[in-house]
Amino acid sequence: MAPRIEAPEFQLSKIDVAKKVEDILAPLKLSEEVQKRIREVYDEEMRLGLARSPSRKSCLQMENTYLPELPNGTEEGEYLALDLGGTNFRVILLQLEKGRVVSDEVQHYFVPEPLRVGPGSELFDFLAACIYDFLETRSKLDHKLPLGFTFSFPMTQQDLNVGILVSWTKSFNCPGVVGEDAVKMLNEAIQRRGDLEVEVVAVLNDTTGTLVQGAFLDRKCAIGLIIGTGSNACYIERVDRVEKWEGTHGDIKEVVVDIEWGAFGDNGVLDFMKTEYDQMLDKNSLLVGSFTFEKLFSGKYLGELTRLVLVKLAEEGLMFGGKIPSQLLRPGSFPTRFVSLVEQDAVLKLARPVSSESCFHELGIEHGSDDLKILQQVCFAVTERAAILLAICLSATLMRVDREECTIAVDGSLYKYHPRLHHLLEHYIIKMTPGKKFSLLLAEDGSGKGAGLIAAIANRLRTRKHS
């Protein structure tokens, strides 16, 4: 049964309670006027982010990836990918023939804690040792292999194969790497060994990888989107609009721009639409005032946002018989997977909302049938707002892409596992860009296969340059 886009039916035993619930949820509903203003602010921040001498700093990085083209069906040969973004990382070998993947081999490795906080050179020596282990196991040590490096940490790109680390995140904090080129450090570690025929030819993040993987599956793809724990997007921009890219660019007409939209609003431009729940969530977060856009809807925060609304409803005596369950007062106690489970019940219109009940049971919260109906309304309200916010920015990005028809490659756990986010997103993009042809395509493993494909593109660009 296809998920629907309409709100769950809302009839409570007490009409006045239903009205009060709707009043509390009202700030989460974005009026046409607010939507229009968000769109205008987003367009302006994009323009400032691409400008050579902006009147003020944009909250959107609009990072030039130096990737001037996407897969075109001519990719041939063997390519390596290294995907580093957390405590586990992967080495992948892709075999391409006439633009098709004929085989891919993957091996997972674990980065021990001493290496995650020790000298940077030791971390990169370890990565090189893992590449050696991967190739030795497959008797490919003598193969000359270009490598695409997915480096999922904040970085500034200065070329397709130059990525300067801005700051470490997650559990990494190796001295001697911030301000340095991660590609150079990995290439130097490979060269120090003297027993590998591997060269790192490209660096990317998972968003760019998703776009490349999407373009490999569908040539009409021109936007990459991540909706998971965090969120980001990238797209193909006309070079003449990337004012900050100085110098001459030869025959290059387009380039992939990494928007870094998780930080949209970090400079206060979205304060006008933030609710008391958004403000509380930010105040209690690890990095106050950062990742503003992500905090409005991403997988890391959607459950917590729901929890804060439920606490408010309980405080107002509208749920749980007027008592506030102690379990709900604990930050992080209502995970985003609960939102997806509750939405599944609403979508299926089950007589008995089994999944919603299971969420309360797991938390050990006593509840009545009206509590379950209110829970469905809250989960729909935060989900619909998420879809509208994403659609506003995607529709604006779509209008910038110089394509008659455009496919948006999407990856991320929230997009994959939420039962109606895809449908709501599609519905609102259609509404905001009437007549524009587009489609949403699930493109998984951009950080793996996408990195291997970018290595193939980098190889093609280099061959062309020297021919």
State how beta strands 405-411 and 437-442 pair: parallel
Catalytic residue among 14, 170, 244, 323: 170
The answer to whether the beta carbons of residues 41 and 60 sit under 8 Å apart is no
Active site annotation includes 23: no
Answer yes or no: are the C-beta atoms of 450 and 210 closer than 8 Å: yes
- Kind of pairing between the strands at 145-151 and 77-84: parallel
CA distance 395 to 350: 33
At 273, phi and psi to the nearest 5? -110, 5
The reply to whether 465 belongs to the active site is no
- The two tokens of residue 234 are 């990238």
Spatial CB neighbours of 423, under 8 Å, sequence gap ≥ 6 = 2, 3, 4, 5
Determine which one of 83, 125, 181, 206 is catalytic: 206
- The Cα–Cα gap between 140 and 418 comes to 41
Question: Residue 10 in contact with residue 353, Cβ under 8 Å?
Answer: no
- CA distance linking residue 302 with residue 391, whole number of Å: 17
- Four-CA torsion 465, 447, 147, 109, nearest 10 degrees: 170
Residues classed as catalytic: 170, 206
